[in-house]
């Protein structure tokens, strides 16, 4: 059984797309996550507030997206995602908002 992830897409004008992600992201469903990140937008906002698990494959997808355009990642400061952002230094290539 693959990990379950749910991604909602909201387009904010032509420039900006917002992804609201809930569930777990691992090797089994990272392709789905990557596809969502490939959406065409000048600025991509990814809200990981509902993510309970993410592994290095998921983080790699974020890095790849950051290489192609402006990326903003939102997460909860107390969540599992927050330390991973620091460990992998995603914070060096994307705008991070923690609340």
| CA 4/CA 41 separation, integer angstroms | 25
Interaction between residue 22 and other proteins (CB under 8 A)? no
Site map for other proteins, 44-73, x if CB under 8 A? ---------xxxxx-xx--x--xx------
**Backbone angles phi and psi of 61, in degrees to 5:** -60, -40
CB closer to other proteins, 10 vs 35: 35
- Token pair of 21 as six digits: 């992600």
Window contacting other proteins (CB under 8 A); options: 8-16, 21-29, 32-40, 43-51: 21-29
Pairing mode of beta strands 5-12, 16-25: antiparallel
| CA 87/CA 10 separation, integer angstroms | 29
| CA 20/CA 51 separation, integer angstroms | 9
Interaction between residue 80 and other proteins (CB under 8 A)? yes
Question: Which residues lie near other proteins (CB under 8 A)?
Answer: 1-4, 24, 26-28, 53-57, 59-60, 63, 66-67, 80, 83-84, 87-89, 92-93
């Amino acid at each position: 059984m693959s990990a379950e992830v749910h991604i909602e897409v909201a387009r904010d004008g032509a420039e900006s797309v917002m992804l609201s992600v809930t569930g777990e992201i691992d090797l089994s469903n990272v392709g789905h996550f990557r596809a969502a990140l490939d959406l065409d937008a000048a600025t991509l906002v990814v809200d990981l507030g509902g993510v309970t698990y993410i592994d290095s494959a998921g983080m790699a997808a974020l890095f790849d997206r950051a290489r192609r355009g402006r990326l903003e990642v939102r997460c909860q400061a107390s969540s599992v995602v927050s330390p991973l952002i620091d460990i992998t230094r995603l914070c060096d290539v994307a705008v991070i908002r923690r609340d």
